[in-house]
Amino acid sequence: MSRKFSCNPKTIKDAINANLLPILTVSGVTGGVVLGVILRYSRDGPWSKREVMYVGYIGELFLRALKALIIPLIVSSLVSAIGSLDLSLSKKIGLRAVAYYMTTTVLAVVLGIILVVSIHPGKGSDEGITKAGEARSVYTPDLLMDLPRNLFPPNLIQACFETYKTVIVEPKIDENDTRIEEWKRKYNWTEGTLPPKSEWDIGSDHSRALNIMGLVSFATVLGLALSTLGAKGKPLLSFFQSLSDASMVITSWLIWISPIGILFLVASMMIEMEDFSVMLGQLGLYFGTVVLGIFIHGFLVLPALYTIFTRKLPFRFLANMTQAYITAFATASSSGTLPVTFQCLEEKNKIDPRVTRFVIPIGATINMDGTALYEAVAAIFIAQVRGMALTIGQVVAISITATAAAIGAAGIPQAGLVTMVMVLDVVGLPAEDMTLIIAVDWLLDRFRTMINVLGDSIGAGLVYELSKKELEQMNINANGDVERPSNEIAMDTVESSKM
C-alpha cells in the first residue's frame, strides 16, 4: 500500500518527533559551521590554541564522555555476545565478518589505486606543496610485529591505557665496539656519523593510547571460554550482559547531548583549520581523489554488496546511521563513535545485539576501508610527486601493506598517518615524504573515519541478515518454546531508561 503524503500538522509533528535526534544533530553541525565561520572572520589575526580550546571545550567534554564508554562497551559487549552463542555459531558469525572485512578492505584499496592511477594527482613535482609537520621514525618490520604483540597484552590493566611500541634508538658506540669494523666494511661507514637505521638498537616503549586490539582479543577469548563453560559460566556472563546493557543505556542518554557536543567540535574545527588555499593545485587534486574514492566505496560499492547479499534496498539502513556518520566526522575517531554506532544499529536498524556486540568492536578495531583506500592513494600520489615510475610488483606491494596499515591503525584521529610510513617504506620512499600530505590530513581523516564507521555498520547489517536463520533457530529452545530475542530485551532496557 502506498502512503499518501499529507500536510496535516499532526503528521508533520509526528515526523519531527520521530526524527528529532537526526534533526538536532544536523542543526548542531550547521550551527557549528556558522558559529565557527563567524568567530573565525570576526577578527583579522589567527586564533591562538588556547582560544580554540575554549571554543571547543564543551565538545571536548562530550568526547571524553564518549571515550569513557569505550572500554566497558567493547569488553562487555564482546564477552556477552560471544558467551551467549554456541561455539559453532560464533565461528560462523566470526568467519562471515572477517570475510566481509577482508573483501571490502581489498576492494577499497583496488578502487583507490584505480582512481589515483587514472586521475594522476601528483604531477611529478612538489612545487606548491608546503611540507608541514615532522615525520616519525619507525621501522616497517617493527610496526608489523607490534600488531600481534598488542594482541597479547601481558597486563590487561595496562592495556586500558597504554599500547606497546618498538622504538629504534641510536646505538651507543665506544672505541672498542666490535661493530665498528663490520659497519665500515659493510656500509662504508665513517666514524662520527650515524650508522644505518638497520643497525640501531631495539628498545621497547609504550604510547599513551588504549590498546583496543588487546582488549578485543582478550574479551573474544573470554567470551568463547564462557560459552564452553555452560552453567558454570552463567554468573560471569550475566555480569557482562548487565554491564553491556547498562553501557547502552548510558549511551542512549549521552546521544541526546551529542548535538551540542558536535556543535562546539565543529565550531573549533572551523576556527582551527588551515587556510583552504592549500587545497588549490596538486594537494587539492589528491584530496579530491581520496574523497571521490571514499564516497564511491561507501555509498555505491558497500550498499551494492548489502543489496546483493540481503536482497534489500540499503537506503533506509544508511539513513538510519546518520547520527553515527556525523559523530565520526566531528570526532575523527571510530572508537569514539562506537557507542553511537551501536545505538543506531540496534535501536534504529533493529540489528540483533548478539551480532552488533560481536562484530562492531572487532570491526571498529580492524576494519577500516576509508583508511585503506587513503593509504594506497597517498603512497602512489607521493611516488607520482617524486616522479617515481612504479612497477606492477610495487603496486601489489602497496596494496598489501595498505591493507595491513589499515588493520593496524587505531580508531583514533590521524592514526592512518602513522601507519602510512610502512606503505611508503615498501616502495622505498622516505618517511619524511609523509609531510607532503599532512596539510590536508586533518580533514581527510574525518571523511575516512565516516567511511570506516559506515563499513562496520553495513558489515553488521550484512552478517545479521546472513545469520538470521541460525539466530532464530537458537531462540527456539529444546522444548520448542520461543525465547524472546535478546535485542527485544535490550531494547526494552533502553526504552525504559528514557522514561
Residues near ligand ASP, by CB under 6 A: 332-334, 368, 371, 409, 411-416, 445, 448-449, 452
Which of 215/409 has CB closer to ligand ASP?
A: 409
Nearest approach, Cβ of 363 to ligand ASP (angstroms)? 11
Which of 252/371 has CB closer to ligand ASP?
A: 371
Q: In the structure grid, which three cell numbers stand for residue 144, read together?
A: 608489523
Q: Max Cα separation, the chain? A: 91
Per the CB < 8 A criterion, the answer to whether 476 and 366 are in contact is: no
Which of 60/465 has CB closer to ligand ASP?
A: 60
Q: 451, 399, 402, 437: which is closest to 121 by C-alpha?
A: 437
Per the CB < 8 A criterion, the answer to whether 210 and 70 are in contact is: yes
What is the C-alpha end-to-end distance of the chain, expressed in Å?
33
Distance CA 23, CA 16 (A): 8
Which of 334/384 has CB closer to ligand ASP?
A: 334
Nearest approach, Cβ of 417 to ligand ASP (angstroms)? 6
Which of 354/446 has CB closer to ligand ASP?
A: 446
- Burial class (CB within 10 angstroms; exposed 0-12, middle 13-18, buried 19+) of 274: middle
Nearest approach, Cβ of 39 to ligand ASP (angstroms)? 25
Nearest approach, Cβ of 340 to ligand ASP (angstroms)? 13
Specify the DSSP element, H or E, that contains 203.
strand 201-207
Nearest approach, Cβ of 148 to ligand ASP (angstroms)? 20
Which of 28/411 has CB closer to ligand ASP?
A: 411
Nearest approach, Cβ of 414 to ligand ASP (angstroms)? 5
CA distance to 113, 190, 258, per residue, from 58 (Å): 40, 55, 10
Q: 445, 412, 456, 440: which is closest to 329 by C-alpha?
A: 445
Which of 84/414 has CB closer to ligand ASP?
A: 414
Which of 384/414 has CB closer to ligand ASP?
A: 414
Nearest approach, Cβ of 60 to ligand ASP (angstroms)? 17
Nearest approach, Cβ of 381 to ligand ASP (angstroms)? 16
Q: Classify 316 as helix, strand or coil.
A: helix
Q: Read out DSSP for 361-404? A: HHHHHH--HHHHHHHHHHHHHHHHHTTPPPPHHHHHHHHHHHHH
Nearest residue to ligand ASP, by Cβ distance, number only: 416
Per the CB < 8 A criterion, the answer to whether 124 and 380 are in contact is: no
Amino acid at 32: G
Distance CA 283, CA 303 (A): 29
Nearest approach, Cβ of 412 to ligand ASP (angstroms)? 6
Distance CA 459, CA 104 (A): 9
Give, to the nearest 10 degrees, the angle between helix 334-343 and helix 57-68.
70
Nearest approach, Cβ of 448 to ligand ASP (angstroms)? 5
Which of 113/237 has CB closer to ligand ASP?
A: 113
Residues in the chain: 499
Distance CA 25, CA 29 (A): 6
Nearest approach, Cβ of 354 to ligand ASP (angstroms)? 24
Nearest approach, Cβ of 187 to ligand ASP (angstroms)? 35
Which of 288/413 has CB closer to ligand ASP?
A: 413
Which of 34/71 has CB closer to ligand ASP?
A: 71
Distance CA 3, CA 364 (A): 38
Which of 352/445 has CB closer to ligand ASP?
A: 445
Per the CB < 8 A criterion, the answer to whether 324 and 451 are in contact is: no
Q: In the structure grid, which three cell numbers stand for residue 435, read together?
A: 609531510
CA distance to 201, 225, 406, per residue, from 411 (Å): 30, 27, 10
Q: In the structure grid, which three cell numbers stand for residue 443, read together?
A: 580533514
Per the CB < 8 A criterion, the answer to whether 209 and 412 are in contact is: yes
